């Protein structure tokens, strides 16, 4: 499967590595995410690249919304800051532009293993659980 983004460009997840050395191999299925943080970063990048199929593949089937479609939502993802990654939870802030305004979404996401792979279960604003 070809990469949907130039492999030599910096990865949108902000890791400091190239897309081809970071999230790209996860998106193609060549290398699964080793940790919940790696999965969260690759999911952020998939949102930024509008890769609905990857987001759905890495979402637990019990909690994945049936109508998920990132193709024409008008959102531009402009930054990711990981605050904490511990156990099966990752707390982060996403910066995005939608409707001509900048927004920040802070979330604490929960991940679990499904077979051999990490998958996203759900997320809440920190302090809700």
Q: pLDDT digit string (tens) for 34-45?
A: 999 999 999 999
Count of other CB atoms within 10 angstroms of residue 125: 11
Please tell me the pTM assigned to this model: 0.93
Instruction: Show the tokens assigned to 13.
Output: 């997840």
For domain 19-124, the question of CATH label 2.40.50.100 is answered with no
Instruction: Show the tokens assigned to 51.
Output: 């890769």
Q: From residue 46, give the alpha-carbon distance in Å to each of 17, 42, 76, 127.
A: 16, 6, 12, 26
Q: pLDDT digit string (tens) for 2-32?
A: 667 889 999 999 999 999 999 999 999 999 9
Count of other CB atoms within 10 angstroms of residue 28: 14
Count of other CB atoms within 10 angstroms of residue 96: 17
């Amino acid at each position: 499967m070809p990469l949907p983004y130039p492999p030599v460009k910096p990865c949108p997840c902000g890791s400091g590595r190239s897309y081809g050395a970071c999230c790209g191999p996860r998106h193609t299925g060549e290398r699964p995410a080793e940790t919940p943080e790696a999965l969260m970063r690759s999911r952020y990048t998939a949102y930024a690249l509008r890769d609905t199929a990857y987001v759905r593949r890495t979402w637990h089937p019990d909690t994945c919304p049936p109508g998920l479609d990132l193709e024409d939502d008008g959102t531009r993802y402009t930054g990711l800051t990981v605050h904490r990654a511990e156990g099966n939870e990752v707390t982060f802030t996403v910066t995005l532009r939608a409707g001509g305004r900048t927004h920040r979404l802070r979330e604490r996401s929960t991940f679990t293993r499904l077979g051999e792979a990490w998958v996203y279960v759900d997320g809440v604003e920190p302090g809700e659980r």
